[in-house]
Amino acid sequence: MDETLAIELRGISKAFGPVQANKDISIQVKRGSIHGIIGENGAGKSTLMSILYGFYKADSGEVFIGGRKTEIPDSQAAIDAGIGMVFQHFKLVENFTVLENIILGAEDGALLKPSLAKARDLLKKLAADYEMDVDPDAIIEDLGVGQQQRVEILKALYREADILILDEPTGVLTPAEADHLFRILKGLRDEGKTIVLITHKLREIMEITDTVSVMRRGEMTATVKTADTSPEELAELMVGRKVLLRVDKTPAKPGEVVLHVENLRVIDDQKVERLRGIDLEIRAGEVLGIAGVSGNGQSELLEVLGGYARGTGTIRVNGIPIDLTGNASDARTRRARGIAHVPEDRQREGLIMDFAAWENVAFGYHDDPKFAPGLLMDHKAMRADCEGKMERFDVRPPDPTLAAKNFSGGNQQKIVLAREIERNPDLLLIGQPTRGVDIGAIEFIHQQIIALRDQGKAILLVSVELDEIMALSDRIAVMFDGRIMGERLPSETDQRELGLMMAGMTGKDAA
Amino acid sequence: MDYLGIIQILDSSLRLATPLLLACLAGLFSERAGIFDIGLEGKMLASAFMSAAVASFTGDVWLGLLAGIAASLVLALIHGVASITFRGNQLISGVAINFLASGLTVVIGEAWFSLGGRTPQLEGPARFQEITLPFANAIRDVPYLGPIYADLLSGHSILVYVALALVPLSWWVLFRTRFGLRLRAVGENPAAVDTAGVSVVGLRYAAVMICGVLCGVAGAYLATALSAGFVKEMSAGRGFIALAALIFAKWRPWYALGATLLFGLLEALGNRFQSLDLFGIPIPTQFMQALPYILTVVILAGFVGKAIPPRAGGEPYVKER
């Protein structure tokens, strides 16, 4: 019995029908360490942790917690074994208070009052120990995602978890919130708690973990000390081939002005001015990157350019003005003018999740004579078109009849990209192109964007990932509070300066 | 109309609101746990029949009440198995229960009693008797307050008082106990309950069973207190009116009391004023009797503020990664 091990898994296997999600996985996690588990989407990380948390029963294999063999048939057993889990999608009751969520399932007796009082005291103590300030009486849905995540961590600590598993915890956080989370996690580790961090972001692994295990297609391919490895090596282990973490591109050759925006303003339903006079220009053959913390008007910019929000001001595409009142121009006329749009939220705005891939590939272009020669649509042609796109964009599995929801995030994004790019637009609007996309697919998507630029198209890229903005853009504009704070060339700026501009300091102050 | 007339109408409102209140609270427990139940009507009807039948056989209304609750529980259990265990469509299951109850009560009634689907008239201890509250007769003559106590509050069957007591009790259970917290949570986000180590299935079955018991009491009240025996289709849409009241009450016990009293009042007015002249225009009887149903349509059409149902309502819970 090895007491220095918080978790040991031996030979865990789990299959869902014909899909082997976990194959003979063995792993040892040291007590008091931060252990990263990295792998692409669908590599089996979440399945493995769900087995550990009693969500699924393994087909074979053994689990040892603190050196003792432990059966985990359900979540209660996991909680009893001292395991706490923070899911990627929070498991909180949105219209309950923070306190109510914390005691749910861990109440002290049949009546709530004493439990609530006890939780309030403990919360105060935990907030002081780990700088995790949360208003105990706040309603969950009024809190930001960072705060909600803190509630999830507090929930686990309230149940006296020794082992904390976090599934993709930074996916929804701003860089500052992520830094704060990492400070909290380090504090917890120094207290002797064991942290398991599931992620596909190499930078997080390098920044915070002590040890890292790599998973690929259901198998554990390696476990190494973080200090002894490099992002390049981990990426190769994850994907199974060499991956270019940097984007290879030649300098841009800007041509004619494709998009000209002048004094663009948008007022939303709550009468808040979201865009306060935007001026920008994009030429053929260049990528303009819009950096900024989300919620500073980038979404509204994409929406008004894409034709599904109203605004005032002037927008010209290839010199021809576009109507912004919403009366004469919508997304369809935008498309006719050569604007293609890959929306930020692909699951809500880019795809219909329950519809098949071939239907999704035709959306927006379904009245194209190629697809709809007469009154009826030509399903055969649509399906064939989808097959071709899936092959060219390496969508896996290449099955046009599969519903969009059954593809991984990266492959969903490739479906949207294929639809929009292959229309040969003059201007591509693209929001958060790699959010929730795994590393192999990121490489492919970035290459596609650059290839499109090299064909002489204009590209407006909106992303909250500064790395991505730096890697792809030929010029970078920083947005804050509905305005453009300034423009920089990627070669003449750095993350620190951009970060200051994103926080609202003008270009001059920042420089 | 004089003061005693008003008291009489209010007294009648309370009587008529009682089955609605019981059914509304039944629905409240079920829907708060995320199980929509349009089978309130069927459960009430089944209970009304079974309670009247057993009371008629045994001559004991309490045995009748138990039989009514049992009948309602059987239907509740069917709804639970269909919608919780087999994750079926809750609306379809509810509709099926309504059809089942509507047909079975008449068929079995005819087989047992050969009275065209009715049960024999219940008399004496086979019915819930009116209870006279202490001192009711002594203070009846006190002006104004006397009639309120003696005529409005006193003189109802025990089930009316039970229903009234259930309002604060339901509130307390839902908002002050562990069970209530978990019940409300499972109707909002069952995944949160599941990952907290609590059984979603167990909680939902508990809620559905509570719903069954309350519908059972409501049905027994119809047949053995409000009337004296079972008549075909005697629930007369009350289960659906209770659902409308539940929406009107925004899934809260105290509001449910208010909403069902309002429906009771409308029904009482309809009964009292068979013909009414309003500013010289005669209002037809049918219109007066249709008032509760008209209000139901108005409420369901969403004219009464914004009511947010429990978020996981109607959705079977499936574990996901």
- Using one digit for the tens of pLDDT, what is the confidence trace for B9-56? 999 999 999 999 999 999 999 999 999 999 999 999 999 999 999 999
A109 neighbourhood in chain B, CB within 8 Å: 178
Q: Which residue of A has its CA nearest to B318?
A: A55
CB of B195 less than 8 A from some CB of A: yes
DSSP output for B21-80 = HHHHHHHHHHHHTT---TTHHHHHHHHHHHHHHHHHHHS-HHHHHHHHHHHHHHHHHHHH
What pLDDT score does A340 carry?
Answer: 93
Instruction: Look up the CATH superfamily of A257-510.
Output: P-loop containing nucleotide triphosphate hydrolases (3.40.50.300)
- How many residues does this entry show for chain B? 321
Residue B14 three-state SS: helix
B200 neighbourhood in chain A, CB within 8 Å: none
- Residue A112 to residue B195, Cβ atoms within 8 A: no
A262 — alpha (psi -120 to 50), left (phi > 0) or beta? beta
What pLDDT score does B286 carry?
Answer: 85
What pLDDT score does B230 carry?
Answer: 95
Residue A49 three-state SS: helix
CA A360 to each of CA A382, A390, A428: distance values in angstroms, whole numbers, following the listed order: 10, 12, 18
Element (H, E) at A85: strand A83-86
- Residue A111 to residue B178, Cβ atoms within 8 A: yes
CA B310 to each of CA A26, A483, B37: distance values in angstroms, whole numbers, following the listed order: 42, 40, 13
- Residue B191 to residue A115, Cβ atoms within 8 A: no
Measured distance CA(B268)–CA(A473) in Å, rounded: 74
**Nearest CB to B181: which of A76, A87, A100?**
A100
What pLDDT score does B305 carry?
Answer: 67
CA A281 to each of CA A257, A484, A487: distance values in angstroms, whole numbers, following the listed order: 7, 12, 11
User: Cα torsion for B310, B314, B316, B320, to the nearest 10°?
Assistant: -50
A112 neighbourhood in chain B, CB within 8 Å: 176-178, 180-181
What pLDDT score does B320 carry?
Answer: 62
Q: Which distant-in-sequence residues (6+ apart) come within 8 Å of A44 by Cβ?
A: A21, A22, A23, A25, A215, A217, A218, A219
Neighbours of B278 (CB within 10 A): 8
B251 neighbourhood in chain A, CB within 8 Å: none
A103 neighbourhood in chain B, CB within 8 Å: 181
Measured distance CA(B86)–CA(A329) in Å, rounded: 49
- Residue B195 to residue A53, Cβ atoms within 8 A: yes
Alpha helices (runs of H) in A18-111, residue ranges in sequence order: 45-52, 75-80, 98-103
Q: What is the pTM of this model?
A: 0.80
CB of B153 less than 8 A from some CB of A: no
CB of B192 less than 8 A from some CB of A: yes
- Residue A105 to residue B176, Cβ atoms within 8 A: no
Tell me the residue ranges of DSSP E strands in A89-235. Answer: 163-167, 194-199, 211-216, 219-225
CA A105 to each of CA A121, B86, B195, B208, B317: distance values in angstroms, whole numbers, following the listed order: 18, 25, 9, 20, 17
Residue A471 three-state SS: helix
State which residues of chain B have pLDDT below 50: 321
Measured distance CA(A372)–CA(A251) in Å, rounded: 41
- Residue B177 to residue A105, Cβ atoms within 8 A: no
Name residue, tokens 């995540």.
A149
- Residue B181 to residue A107, Cβ atoms within 8 A: yes
- Annotate A283-321 with b (16+ C-beta within 10 A) or e (fewer): bbbbbbbbbbbeebbbbbbbbbbbbebbbebebebeeee
B180 neighbourhood in chain A, CB within 8 Å: 112
Contact B245, B260 (CB under 8 A): yes
Measured distance CA(B89)–CA(B92) in Å, rounded: 5
Tokens standing for residue A135: 């208003």
Tokens standing for residue B31: 């829907």
Element (H, E) at A36: strand A34-39
**Nearest CA distance, A139 vs chain B (angstrom):** 13
Residue A97 three-state SS: strand
Q: How many Cβ pairs within 8 Å bridge chains A and B?
A: 75
Sketch the domain layout of chain A as residue ranges: 1-82+162-243, 95-160, 257-510
**Nearest CA distance, A263 vs chain B (angstrom):** 39
**Nearest CB to A55: which of B188, B311, B319?**
B319
Of the candidates A440, A436, A484, the residue with the CA atom closest to the CA atom of residue A289: A484
- Residue A91 to residue B191, Cβ atoms within 8 A: yes
Of the candidates B10, A177, B39, the residue with the CA atom closest to the CA atom of residue B1: B10
B196 neighbourhood in chain A, CB within 8 Å: 75, 79, 91, 104-106, 155
CB of B181 less than 8 A from some CB of A: yes
Chain B from 197 to 226: CB within 8 A of any A CB:
197-198
A74 neighbourhood in chain B, CB within 8 Å: 197
Of the candidates B207, B168, B172, the residue with the CA atom closest to the CA atom of residue B186: B207
What pLDDT score does A511 carry?
Answer: 45
Q: Which residue of A has its CA nearest to B181?
A: A104
Measured distance CA(A454)–CA(A468) in Å, rounded: 18
What pLDDT score does A347 carry?
Answer: 85
Per-residue pLDDT tens, chain A, 511 aa: give them: 566 899 999 999 998 877 788 999 999 999 999 999 998 777 888 889 989 998 888 999 999 999 899 999 989 999 999 999 998 889 999 999 999 999 999 999 999 999 999 999 999 998 888 888 889 999 998 888 888 999 999 999 999 999 999 998 887 776 778 888 999 999 999 999 999 999 878 888 999 999 999 998 889 999 999 999 998 888 888 888 777 777 888 888 999 999 999 999 998 877 888 999 999 999 999 999 999 877 788 989 999 998 888 889 999 999 999 888 776 668 888 888 899 999 988 888 899 999 999 999 988 888 888 888 888 888 999 999 999 999 999 888 888 999 998 888 888 999 999 999 998 899 999 999 988 787 778 889 999 999 999 999 999 999 988 888 999 999 999 998 899 999 999 999 888 788 788 877 765 554 4
| End-to-end CA separation in angstroms for chain A | 58
Helices H, strands E: what count in chain B?
A: 12, 4
- Residue B192 to residue A101, Cβ atoms within 8 A: yes
**Nearest CA distance, A84 vs chain B (angstrom):** 9
Q: Which residue of B has its CA nearest to A105?
A: B196
Of the candidates B160, B172, B169, B168, the residue with the CA atom closest to the CA atom of residue B264: B160
**Of A90, A104, A198, which to mutate for an interface test with B (greatest number of B Cβ within 10 Å)?**
A104
**Nearest CA distance, A93 vs chain B (angstrom):** 6
Sketch the domain layout of chain B as residue ranges: 3-236
CA B235 to each of CA A133, B16, B43, B219: distance values in angstroms, whole numbers, following the listed order: 54, 12, 10, 8
**Nearest CB to A109: which of B178, B180, B197?**
B178
**May I ask the CATH architecture of the domain A1-82+162-243?**
3-Layer(aba) Sandwich (3.40)
Q: Which residue of B has its CA nearest to A167?
A: B321
Interface predicted TM-score (ipTM) of this complex, two decimals: 0.89
**Nearest CA distance, B212 vs chain A (angstrom):** 23
Contact A450, A466 (CB under 8 A): no
Measured distance CA(A323)–CA(A314) in Å, rounded: 8
